[in-house]
Amino acid sequence: MYRGARDRQPRYYRVRDVYVVVLDYMPNGNPLDRHQHHRSSPIAQVIGTKYLSLVELIPPPGQHLNMGERIYVEQSL
């Protein structure tokens, strides 16, 4: 019987941290990135507190982050 892509089980499950610690915050974006959008929007480099996953995220508009700050990451999909 044919197994389509929808019938297949995922190879791994995505593990997400609920809390992260800010390692670096660039309010004006990353000046070395080749994409214009990444150079102009704020970006934060964070590490998860439980699984130690390294992630770059875009904070909500108007939110300023400090290095070493522990923040809650809302789960979306």
Give me the domains of the chain, ranges plus CATH numbers: 19-72 (2.40.50.140)
pTM: 0.73
Residue 16 CB neighbour total at 10 angstroms: 14
What is the spatial distance between Cα 22 and Cα 57, in angstroms, rounded to a whole number? 10
What is the spatial distance between Cα 65 and Cα 9, in angstroms, rounded to a whole number? 38
Q: Which residue has the higher pLDDT, 45 or 16?
A: 45
With beta carbons less than 8 A apart as the criterion, state whether 21 and 44 touch.
no
Question: Average model confidence (pLDDT) for the chain?
Answer: 84
HSE-up of 19 (CA within 13 Å, CB side)? Answer: 7
The answer on pLDDT for 6 being more than 80 is no
Task: Please state the rounded mean pLDDT for residues 38-50.
Answer: 90
Integer-rounded Cα radius of gyration of the chain? 17
